[in-house]
Structure 1
């Protein structure tokens, strides 16, 4: 029997609607097991709690951006800003972000790059912390595994 201690909802193609069980898994495990969503996983978190996923202002495939943050959640203790690699054409629409999700990171043009749930240990990042061009990716993952608040 599987007994995961953490769940990472991974990147992938298309939208949360085509992401298999991602949205359902987030809805089922939120509050039971810590969850980190990366790119499509981040969008799936937004949709799972009632946000709308829309086309980004600019397509970002293999491009880097400065990421600004509140020094909380998976971003605790990281330089502000830092550089991260982005591979996406969709984002969580800011106007439909549900009250239960808090923005934790953003770009210079105000696209949402990080969210966390107000109550549950659920965190999302729109960019790719695993990319070699993303600064401090290992530190973000360490923060998540150590119980980011």
Structure 2
């Protein structure tokens, strides 16, 4: 399963639908809804960080996710997610 971190941006749902069209089972989690430990304990196949209206420092678990997931799951960021 792919975990899509929602940084409170409506484009998150475009990504969700696009991933679904590619056949990916995807769950959406808000950036302040879960800890990085909980996220990684679910062993996602990949993590996608969505766009959002703030800076990486204000994007919930995004920076910590990038740091901790590097050897556990591929991480793909879009816009704000890429900046993280």
**Structure showing greater relative contact order (alpha-carbon pairs closer than 8 Å, 6 or more residues apart):** 2
Higher helix share: 2
**Greater Rg over alpha carbons, structure:** 1
Higher strand share: 1
> What TM-score comes out, normalization by structure 1 length?
0.28
> What TM-score comes out, normalization by structure 2 length?
0.49
